[in-house]
Structure 1
């Protein structure tokens, strides 16, 4: 089973860097990794997150100690979070179709993304609302991991 770290699927979410891939082909994994690695590397450096932090989060299946601004940074770089810190559902669905081939996988991913779009309606108390919302979005994806072709 291939393993790599990210914070969500081809939605451009940091989650992909924390995922064990089950239903997605090796070709799709390589494509996703290649697209996200530069963003993850850049955002990790900008937010003081090192590989040990990412590895520990994956190993312990606990992402609470990761800087949520890392997650927001990757989401923004991929276009799945806008400049206002809102989840861009349309862009997420577009990214899904770009990286996944199976209609079944695309439909499952879309269902999860649509469910998690409700994070845009939640009140965020931190100064940089995109960081708090990115954490809520990641939490939502993790909550729905059983429905998604990638298991976090």
Structure 2
């Protein structure tokens, strides 16, 4: 292997390492946000287990936990609407070198941005919208 090829190989490995580190960091942050929000909204451990199996519960506390997590991660804005720009920024940061993941993110945005147009009634609209986002993301992932 020539020196130039070796340098290219190391650069590629480092870029994947940085990307993997970013993904691992993002997953860890997401877990921390989820635990923080679960505590803030008094979500039971059994309910957390259910949502990890892609089941949205009817409990308002669970919906509000997701509203909290989505806001903390930049997926939603202050009003609880899906933040297309926020998702794009996170995607670019975490998956800059992964066109497949970036495409999946774009597919998610296209499939789920309609939740911002849903008419919601009653209180805790940001929690209701978070449930719609969760539902759409589960449905969108099932179609892949």
TM range (shorter): 0.7 to 0.9
* Alignment partner of 1:80 out of 75, 78, 81: 75
Shift of 1:47: 0.7
Q: Which consecutive residues of structure 2, in runs of 5 or more, have no partner in the other structure?
A: 1-18
* Alignment partner of 1:130 out of 126, 129, 133: 126
**Residue 110 of structure 1 corresponds to which residue in structure 2?**
106
| Structure 1 ranges of 4+ moved more than 6 A | none
1-side partners of 2:91 and 2:73: how far apart? 12
Q: Give the secondary-structure state (helix, strand or coil) at the position aligned to 1:63.
A: coil
Which structure has the highest helix share of the two?
2
2-side partners of 1:57 and 1:82: how far apart? 22
Q: CA RMSD in A?
A: 2.1
2-side partners of 1:99 and 1:126: how far apart? 36
2-side partners of 1:74 and 1:81: how far apart? 9
Q: Which runs of structure 2 are paired with 1:4-83 in the superposition (5 Å)?
A: 27=21, 29-59=23-53, 61-65=54-58, 67-83=62-78
Q: Is the 8 A contact 1:28 1:99 kept in 2?
A: yes
Higher relative contact order (CA 8 A, sep 6+): 1
Shift of 1:73: 0.4
Higher Cα radius of gyration: 2
- 1:99 matched to 2:90? The reply is no
Which structure has the highest strand share of the two?
1
Q: Is the 8 A contact 1:39 1:74 kept in 2?
A: yes
Q: Normalising by structure 2, report the TM-score.
A: 0.74
When residues 92 and 147 of structure 1 are mapped into structure 2, their CA distance, relative to the original with a 3 A threshold, is farther
Q: Is the 8 A contact 1:116 1:141 kept in 2?
A: yes
**1:22-67 Cα deviation digits (max 9, x unpaired):** xxx86555222222122111100011113332113334x4222452
